[in-house]
Amino acid sequence: MRLVFELDFDAKRISGRFVLGANYAGGAGFAHGGIIAVVLDEAMGKISKLTEEKAVTAELNVVYRKPVPVDKEIVVEGWQEEEKGRNRFRVGEIRDAEGNLLARGTARFVAIDQEHFEKVRAAQEKV
């Protein structure tokens, strides 16, 4: 799966249009719930590119409202609603081409400095 999002620096939002494909179908022929969570997490994570900061998912909640098709285009959007200290509270939505809300995610991301990432990476390379 390759998800490419457009960054709207003025609106402080990201968006993308995708057809997931049959490989991502669950038992009923619609998108698997785990794939929906991945798409929403990725959308909310990409918001960091608007400010060039690094942030990791600390909490993720998904509300599955309607089945997400794998054979039709979906519209994915994400934005940040609030910032408290290092916490970034974000929202992601998946809609169909007609604008119907199919799934909504909310998440708390935590901003991490580059030095921390480099320390973790170096420690993993030693293992």
Could you confirm whether 10 is annotated as catalytic? no
d(CA 82, CA 105): 15
Contact status, residue 34 vs residue 40, Cβ threshold 8 Å: no
Q: What is the signed CA dihedral for 58, 43, 3, 117, rounded to 10 degrees?
A: -40
The one catalytic residue among 8, 10, 41, 71:
41
List residues with catalytic annotation: 41
